[in-house]
Amino acid sequence: MKTNEYIEKTKKELVHTYNRFDVIFDHGKGVYLYDNEGKEYLDFAAGIAVMALGYGNEAFNEELKKQIDKLIHTSNLYYNTSVCEAAEKILKISQMDKVFFTNSGTEAIEGAIKSAKKYAYSKTGHADHEIIAMNHSFHGRSVGALSVTGTEHYRTPFEPLMGGVKFAEFNNIESVKKCITDKTCGIIMETIQGEGGIYPVEEKFIKEIRKICDEKDILLILDEIQCGMGRTGKMFAWQNYGVKPDIMTCAKAIGCGIPVGAFLMTEKVARYSLEPGDHGTTYGGNPLATTAVSAVIEQFEKQDILNHVNEVSKYLWEKLDELTEKYDFLISHRGKGLIQGIETTLPVGEVSQKALDNGLVVITAGKNVLRFVPPLIIEKKHVDEMLFKLEKTLKTYL
Ligand SMILES: Cc1ncc(COP(=O)(O)O)c(C=O)c1O
């Protein structure tokens, strides 16, 4: 079949929830993707902040292949060594005490919400509790995750969602304080808002939130699904701010393409939270998925990914700053590490499409932000190539 025939057939067969770009990616190598006609693309999207190690990492792929031949799945009715090893590794890098592996970020959010609710239930003996979430946040598309997602147009068609959720302004402590009542059991936020437009949390704000949570026995839930796993130069973004969550979620890059997520909690939470029968999943934490988690964490250590991110992200920062200065239609530049965004007056969807035509994969965030979330293995030369291709695209708007 020809490319356009595949595209038309897919459009006919799949529920139309995505307006996809008209490209069929066929394979990848390092930080490059190749379409089915052989055209090369520099990838600054990493499958939406997933492919931290790039494409075709041999050591990672070998581990997966070995595990496929050995054992893919048994269910959570039995023990397996892969989940045990992955748990040890993820607890070490996250400084948390317990982990539950899920199949996606959304499910990690569901588990985090349930963990906070159960904690409050165990402590008070009733289930009448509230959660504070942030405007412009994104936590996923299931009913629970949508309930704490502060973007109206995602939510409206599916109301009524889970009750007991109040929305505050991100980075505005007074707004959060106004939402707190005796019923508040959790405050959930992304450490860096991703889909909402790449807004990092402010240190003062997160520290004040932590203090309020400690004073009132409210659980701080940090969503690290997009910004976590090395993207900010620390394993998890909150580690930049001198605070620690009570519950955290991660997904995306912890599996580098194998669908896996996790919610993690401290011992304090675990003592009063989920018990046998409270939560479960058929696939979650299966031998293949958790082999991926262990292999990713091993590669991070072997390749010294954190130091590399700290170095290369400075270069990306400088270059995107210069670019923002240069063009009037680029308004501001923000982010941290290798999650950066440029706010623009240009139609961002169209810019993405034109960039793709020029051999650059770059995605958008919110209505007016170009989002840069490349594989964490990019080098300075890739930043230069990205800028060349992006400028070629931007110049068409002069
Ligand atoms: C911050 C954040 N939370 C949750 C999710 C949902 O994760 P998933 O798509 O793996 O279900 C996403 C996905 O983009 C995200 O960026």
d(CA 81, CA 77): 13
* Confidence at residue 162, expressed as pLDDT on a 0 to 100 scale: 97
* Confidence at residue 193, expressed as pLDDT on a 0 to 100 scale: 98
Same domain, 22 and 76: no
DSSP letter at 348?
H
Same domain, 128 and 2: no
- The verdict on the CB of residue 223 being under 6 Å from ligand 1 is yes
pLDDT confidence band for 44 (50 / 70 / 90): very high
Distances from the Cα of 339 to the Cα of 28, 114, 234, 331, angstroms: 21, 29, 12, 17
Q: Which of 273, 302, 331 is the last residue of a domain?
A: 302
Looking at this protein, which amino acid is placed at residue 385?
E
Same domain, 309 and 321: yes
Q: Bridge partners of 360?
A: 42
Residue 374 falls inside a structural domain: no
Distances from the Cα of 336 to the Cα of 138, 170, 292, 383, angstroms: 18, 17, 26, 16
- The verdict on the CB of residue 138 being under 6 Å from ligand 1 is yes
Q: What is the pLDDT of residues 166-182, one digit of tens each?
A: 999 999 999 999 999 99
Angle at 99 between CA 95 and CA 104, to 5 degrees: 115
Looking at this protein, which amino acid is placed at residue 205?
F
Same domain, 150 and 274: yes
d(CA 339, CA 195): 11
Structure tokens at 226: 């997009």
Structure tokens at 309: 């991110």
Residue 78 falls inside a structural domain: yes
Residue nearest to atom 10 of ligand 1 (CA): 105
Q: What is the pLDDT of residues 66-75, one digit of tens each?
A: 999 999 999 9
* Confidence at residue 385, expressed as pLDDT on a 0 to 100 scale: 98
Query: Average of pLDDT values for 232-236?
Result: 98
Residue nearest to atom 7 of ligand 1 (CA): 105
Structure tokens at 225: 């699904």
Query: Average of pLDDT values for 91-104?
Result: 98
Query: Average of pLDDT values for 46-64?
Result: 98
Residue 396 falls inside a structural domain: no
* Confidence at residue 33, expressed as pLDDT on a 0 to 100 scale: 98
* Confidence at residue 167, expressed as pLDDT on a 0 to 100 scale: 98
Atom in ligand 1 nearest the alpha carbon of residue 190: 1
d(CA 301, CA 280): 31
Query: Average of pLDDT values for 272-280?
Result: 98
Residue 387 falls inside a structural domain: no
Query: Average of pLDDT values for 267-286?
Result: 98
Same domain, 141 and 91: yes
- Which pairing describes strands 32-35 and 98-102: parallel, antiparallel, or unpaired? unpaired
Question: 219: domain range?
Answer: 59-302
Residue 390 falls inside a structural domain: no
Same domain, 356 and 288: no
d(CA 387, CA 397): 16
* Confidence at residue 204, expressed as pLDDT on a 0 to 100 scale: 98
* Confidence at residue 196, expressed as pLDDT on a 0 to 100 scale: 97
Residue 379 falls inside a structural domain: no
Same domain, 337 and 296: no
d(CA 234, CA 228): 8
Q: Which of 276, 302, 328 is the last residue of a domain?
A: 302
Q: What is the pLDDT of residues 291-326, one digit of tens each?
A: 999 999 999 999 999 999 999 999 999 999 999 999
Same domain, 132 and 20: no
Same domain, 11 and 103: no
d(CA 21, CA 7): 10
Atom in ligand 1 nearest the alpha carbon of residue 251: 10
Indicate the angle between helix axes 305-326 and 380-394, nearest 10 degrees.
Answer: 30
Among 392, 297, 383, 301, which residue's Cα sits nearest to residue 340? 383
Average pLDDT, the chain: 98
CA atoms within 13 A on the CB side of 166: 17
Same domain, 102 and 3: no
Structure tokens at 251: 């997904």
Instruction: Compute φ and ψ for 180, nearest 5 degrees.
Output: -75, 130
Q: Total structural domains in the chain?
A: 3
- The verdict on the CB of residue 104 being under 6 Å from ligand 1 is yes
Find the CATH number of the domain harbouring 207: 3.40.640.10
Residue nearest to atom 4 of ligand 1 (CA): 139
* Confidence at residue 171, expressed as pLDDT on a 0 to 100 scale: 98
- The verdict on the CB of residue 149 being under 6 Å from ligand 1 is no
Same domain, 120 and 154: yes
Beta strands in the chain (DSSP E): 25-29, 32-35, 40-43, 98-102, 130-134, 165-168, 184-190, 192-193, 199-200, 219-223, 247-250, 261-265, 330-336, 339-344, 360-361, 363-365, 369-372
Residue 14 falls inside a structural domain: yes
Among 19, 15, 13, 20, which residue's Cα sits nearest to residue 35? 20
* Confidence at residue 235, expressed as pLDDT on a 0 to 100 scale: 98
Cα(52) to centroid(ligand 1), Å: 15
* Confidence at residue 361, expressed as pLDDT on a 0 to 100 scale: 98
pLDDT confidence band for 57 (50 / 70 / 90): very high
- The verdict on the CB of residue 225 being under 6 Å from ligand 1 is yes
Percent of the chain residues past pLDDT 70, beyond the cut = 100
Cis peptide before 160 (omega within 30 of 0): yes
Same domain, 70 and 192: yes
Q: Which of 280, 302, 324 is the last residue of a domain?
A: 302
* Confidence at residue 6, expressed as pLDDT on a 0 to 100 scale: 96
Residue 118 falls inside a structural domain: yes
Structure tokens at 188: 């959930």
* Confidence at residue 236, expressed as pLDDT on a 0 to 100 scale: 98
* Confidence at residue 75, expressed as pLDDT on a 0 to 100 scale: 97
